[in-house]
Amino acid sequence: MKPKMICKIAIDFIMTVLLLLLMARQITGDSAHEWLGMGMFVLLAYLGTKGLQKLNARKKENKVLDIDLKQ
């Protein structure tokens, strides 16, 4: 597997474990619940920015193709 895919799978696995721990608030306690929530937010924000970068690159490619096709 490519390293990029391994990274994506690892992040998905970590987020799944964090989600399960977040749902067990009585077991983990309030302080750990807050820290786990912040970790989950950071991972979601990281994945969101990666998706936006890919989207912006696609928009640029489409714009170049549109200009080429019009000429």
Q: Enumerate the domain spans of the chain.
A: 3-70
User: pLDDT at position 58, please?
Assistant: 74
Dmax (CA) of the chain: 64
Please indicate, yes or no, whether the overall pTM of this predicted structure exceeds 0.75. no
The whole-number average pLDDT for the span 41-60 is 75
Confidence of residue 35 (pLDDT cuts 50, 70, 90): very high
- In the Cβ-directed half-sphere of 46, how many Cα atoms lie within 13 Å? 11
Question: Please, are residues 28 and 21 in contact by the beta-carbon 8 Å criterion?
Answer: yes
